[in-house]
Chain A
Amino acid sequence: MSEFIQQLINGLSLGSIYALIALGYTMVYGILKFINFAHGEIFMLGAFSGFYLSRTLGVDQPDIVMALVILVFTMCITSAIGVIIEKLAYKPLRNSSKLTVLITAIGVSLFLQYSGQLIFGADPKSFPTIIENIGFNIFGATIGSNQIVVLISALLLMLVLRFIVKNTKMGIAIRAVSNNLTAASLMGININNVISFTFVIGSSLAGAAGILYSINYPSIDPLMGLLPGLKAFIAAVLGGIGNFPGASVGGLIIGLVETFTVGYISPTYRDAIAFAILIIILLVKPTGLFGKKEIEKV
């Protein structure tokens, strides 16, 4: 039983990070209808910005205030990078075919990975301890305080996102644009602002995920965004791409399934299982768990 609880917590804290990344995929897809494959690299840049910030701020002792400062600054940095990428790489292609933008996104992703190797160096770096880790004993399972921190911060960020999308003017604009871009622009919504804002939100969540991931798994390298990025993409598809609650639930499911596969079946299938889920969901319910079928009107 204690083993089960421990695995459950392991899975949830991993899944909540996937959920944060998946939200960025889903938001951009909802508005621009393309998969931003460079999103995993934003996650990686978040981890590195956390690494360099804690170095410049001289954080070598766990400090909750400093950790918050680092988190907020990182979210600002990654959202700026996200907007720059959008302006430089995607905006000029706004009217090209979706395939062109998709290929560009892959190009941006590779560009960031390998420039990262050039700038940061290819060898893994050890992420500093910015949050004290105390083990709690619950039903015989030891749960680290940083796992709890990761879970709670992820939940808080998702609630904030939900509030923005449901209750603010910008949120309404986002939903309008994602419903119909042309119609929304005819109603006087500034499309460029909405798109930039989407990238700000998506990229800051990815940056936060980068920090939370590095707190849990303190080894960072320029290629670290690849697999979590792909898994989060699967999570977004699983939940129904374009759907916010879907992305969060999808992320948690992927994290749990992955952990239980490793713990109870075989670690060999760790990555395979996520992709198997992708194939199954595309065959059985291509719209995802929460996705609605859209009727094409002629």
Chain B
Amino acid sequence: MKNLLFNLFFLSFTAFLVFCFNSCNKSGGNEILIGEYASLTGSEATFGQSSHNGLELAIEEINKNGGILGRQLKLITEDNQGKPSETQTVVQKLINRDKVIAVIGEVASSRSKAGAPICQSSKIPMITPASTNPEVTSIGDYIFRICFIDPFQATVMSKFALNSMKVKKVAVLIDQKNAYSTGLADNFRKVFTEMGGEIVEEQKYSAGDKDFKAQLTAIKAKNPEAIFIPGYYTDVNLISIQAREIGLTCPLFGSDGWESEKLTEGKAKDALEGCFFSTHVSADDPSPIVQNFIKKYQEKYKSKPDAMAFLAYDAGLILSEAIKRAGDTNGEKIKNELGKIKDFQGVTGLITINDQRNAVKPAVVLEIKDGKFVYKETIAP
């Protein structure tokens, strides 16, 4: 019996070793491996799917044009199911098992914050396409972003609320579990009151809640002129429906977390009519580089790209540009080149990376009309 057990143990150990060798050999090819972690499933699944599509398109194009440094790029994508805990596992796997030279991810700030420390300690450059929380890039000098940050987005929406929507009394509804939402709300509160607005009520929810009527009823009692909801589209969809159900008729406005075709699904199509949100790019932009991207994207994926797809595409281009300039796949060299990116023409405009490794660029405000997102105005930094 003892012998059998020992044999079994020995067998499984050899199997394990063989398995290890196999997986090590895989990374020894001539391709440049790039890792991506994204929420391909979970409640913000469209974020992950769009950014994955955008990145895939960028990599495909680079490969079609001969790759970089004479080598083809290969994208290894891992699904974190929209969970911070899962994010750590998949980023570890990308870096330690797949040996990627750089990592792209995530859209959601709380998940980027989970992945960033691992990239930083392994000295692997990470680019987040769309995480706007300022703390993400302060994790370390290997963490970059190619989108604007929340203080700027909060300023944009404060200006927009006061000047264009002409509202002064605003209520705020915050997703308390989410770094993106709380950060944005803090900045909005500060800027909006400084500019002369008044916050009449603040309520909180947790992402994934289905019932928001209690919070909305409390907000309704304060009679706000508009409600600022810095949250993600799944929750905003339900919030808007329930707000109208309990008789809250004032406009809602929010941030780039709203951008998804699923925002206006079902009854929310009517509930969100005439509401606004800020984001990175508008598909209505007539410039050829934007329209060209939209055309290519539609050919491949049969759907319209959203901001996450635009940003991830730019993230792919900027990363390959940095690798090209570094002339090497060494993490430190790529990191240095990423920091020097200036006036890079991407599909989301001219991108310059500043000292804090953040991108400086304008924001656009979109209006929801008949379930579609229509360009309203651009607000410069």
Contact = CB atoms under 8 A, between A and B. Distances in A.
Interface in B72-120: 81
Interface stretch (A80-88, A100-108, A215-223, A281-289): A215-223
A103 to B, nearest CB: 24
Given A218-B266, A267-B203, A133 B214 contact: no
Contact of B238 (A141, A219, A266): A219
B204 A268 contact: yes
Contact of A221 (B43, B46, B206, B237): B43
Interface stretch (B184-192, B215-223, B291-299, B373-381): B215-223
B39 to A, nearest CB: 9
B237 A267 contact: no
B206 A219 contact: no
A6 B211 contact: no
B218 A263 contact: yes
Among B220, B242, B246, max chain A CB count under 10 A is at B246
B217 A3 contact: yes
A224 B238 CA distance: 14
Nearest to A127: B266
A111 to B, nearest CB: 18
Residue with the greatest number of chain A CB neighbours at <10 A, chosen from B45, B203, B214, B266: B214
Interface residues of B, number: 34
B372 interface: no
B213 interface: yes
Contact of A129 (B42, B206, B238, B267): B267
B266 A263 contact: no
B266 A128 contact: yes
A39 to B, nearest CB: 18
Among B42, B205, B213, B218, find the residue whose CB has the most chain A CB atoms closer than 10 A: B213
A217 B238 contact: yes
B234 interface: yes
Contacts of A128: 266
A197 to B, nearest CB: 31
Given A123-B46, A126-B266, A218-B238, A267 B215 contact: yes
Residue among A122, A124, A141 with max Cβ neighbours from chain B (10 Å) = A124
Contact of A126 (B81, B211, B265): B265
Interface string A222-251: 001000000000000000000000000000
Contact of A122 (B41, B206, B218, B238): B41
A291 to B, nearest CB: 28
Given A224-B210, A259-B214, A135 B245 contact: yes
User: Which 4 residue pairs of A and B lie closest in terms of their CB atoms, listed nearest first?
Assistant: A142-B247, A122-B41, A126-B266, A123-B45
Interface of B: 41-43, 45-46, 81, 176, 203-206, 209-211, 213-215, 217-218, 220-221, 234, 237-238, 241-242, 245-247, 262, 265-268
Given A123-B41, A216-B211, A217-B242, 7 more contacts: A14-B211, A123-B45, A123-B46, A135-B247, A142-B245, A266-B204, A267-B176
